[in-house]
A = this chain, B = another copy of it.
Amino acid sequence: MTTTAAGKRARAKAEYDAFLAVCPSRRLLDRISGKWVTLILAALGGGSPRPDADCAGDPRPMRYSELSRLLAGVSQKMLTQTLRSLERDGLVTRTVTPTVPVTVTYELTELGLSLHHMMRGLKTWAETHMDDVLAHRATYDTPTD
């Protein structure tokens, strides 16, 4: 066992990494920080994943193709990947109806809906304060002659 200063530092770092790996907040951040996660939650939650207002309403199930159309910028790969990971975590359900061709719908679970509600708080903060942040950023970036 190492008892040098360098060894102690390395061990402290390893322990901290282990702590972060199980920290609930850290895990939540990792979960929601994917580029498309919040947008899919917003879409399925009846929120506004688009600038046009014609998609607001109540939470409702949506088909793969509908999500694909609503989130105009998403690739098939990322849409599928993100939906699968949300399903894995019990945030959405995936339902396959064996029509020809097949119909697949996605819907928020209670857990997913609860997360979506939490995100509203985040959205509110963003709409209230992000302008301030952006203004600070612009000032900071302005060369002071």
- A141 to chain B: which residues have CB within 8 Å? 88
- Once the chains bind, are A72 and B121 in contact (CB under 8 Å)? no
- Once the chains bind, are A13 and B125 in contact (CB under 8 Å)? no
- Once the chains bind, are A24 and B130 in contact (CB under 8 Å)? yes
- A130 to chain B: which residues have CB within 8 Å? 24, 27-28
Copies in the complex: 2
- Once the chains bind, are B133 and A91 in contact (CB under 8 Å)? yes
Report which of B16, B71, B87 forms a contact with A16, defined as CB distance below 8 A.
Answer: B71
Query: Which of A30-38, A53-61, A100-108 has 4 or more CB atoms under 8 Å from chain B?
Result: A30-38
Given A118-B121, A125-B114, A126-B24, A136:B32 Cβ within 8 A: no
Q: Knowing that A19-B50, A122-B122 are A-B contacts, what are 17 other residue pairs whose CB atoms are under 8 Å apart, sorted by A's residue number?
A: A13-B72, A20-B73, A24-B127, A24-B131, A25-B38, A25-B122, A26-B38, A27-B126, A27-B133, A28-B125, A89-B137, A90-B133, A90-B135, A91-B133, A111-B132, A114-B129, A115-B125
